[in-house]
Amino acid sequence: MLRRVSYYDSEIEKRFVFITNHFTLSALTIAQLYKARWRVELFFKWIKQNLRIKAFYGNSTNAVKTQIWIAISVYVLAAILRKQLGIERSLTEILQVLSVTLFEKTPVFEALTATQMTDFSDPDRNQLKLFDL
């Protein structure tokens, strides 16, 4: 058996309907549980989109939490770097540049502000040249 719970949120003026198998909890409690669950879903969606964690290297709770906190710390440091240096690039671009230039001796500001212009009008731009003519 399932229970249908209806809840009206006066803040956003919207009605929500939930299906649950809890018969002893109040409708407000059910709505609060779903709201908390939705926050967790949004948090992991944000993690997937912004932190680029491909896989977790451990299965324990501590390993997962540690990897998430490290990724969040790197993201925040990149945001601080972007703001303090006044860089116009997106955080995704900044993180990508940093991952590529991680072991180079290029200064961070130079790596993040250097632009490489590619001439896309040249049809032979990808062609290797054996001789200088």
pLDDT in tens, the chain (133 residues): 899 999 898 889 999 999 999 899 998 899 899 989 999 999 888 888 888 788 888 889 999 899 989 989 989 998 998 999 888 888 888 888 888 888 888 887 888 776 654 555 666 666 777 776 6
- Tell whether 66 and 42 lie within a shared domain: no
Asked whether the CA dihedral 44, 45, 47, 48 is positive or negative, the reply is: positive
Asked whether the CA dihedral 67, 95, 45, 76 is positive or negative, the reply is: positive
- Tell whether 69 and 108 lie within a shared domain: yes
- Tell whether 68 and 98 lie within a shared domain: yes
Domain that holds residue 58: 51-113
Q: Determine which helix (DSSP H) or strand (DSSP E) holds 22, and give its type and residue range.
A: none
Where do the DSSP E strands lie in the chain?
3-9, 14-20
- Tell whether 31 and 66 lie within a shared domain: no
- The number of C-alpha atoms within 13 Å of 18 and in the hemisphere containing its C-beta is 20
Phi then psi for residue 107, to 5 deg, are -60, 145
Q: Parallel, antiparallel, or unpaired: how do β-strands 3-9 and 14-20 relate?
A: antiparallel
For residue 120, being part of any structural domain is answered with: no
- Tell whether 106 and 86 lie within a shared domain: yes
- Tell whether 109 and 55 lie within a shared domain: yes
pLDDT digits (tens, 9 = 90+) for 91-125: 888 888 888 888 888 887 888 776 654 555 666 66
Contact at 8 Å (CB) between 67 and 74? no
Domain count, the chain: 2
Model confidence pTM above 0.95:
no
- Tell whether 41 and 74 lie within a shared domain: no
The vertex-34 CA angle with 23 and 30, nearest 5°, equals 25
- Tell whether 62 and 109 lie within a shared domain: yes
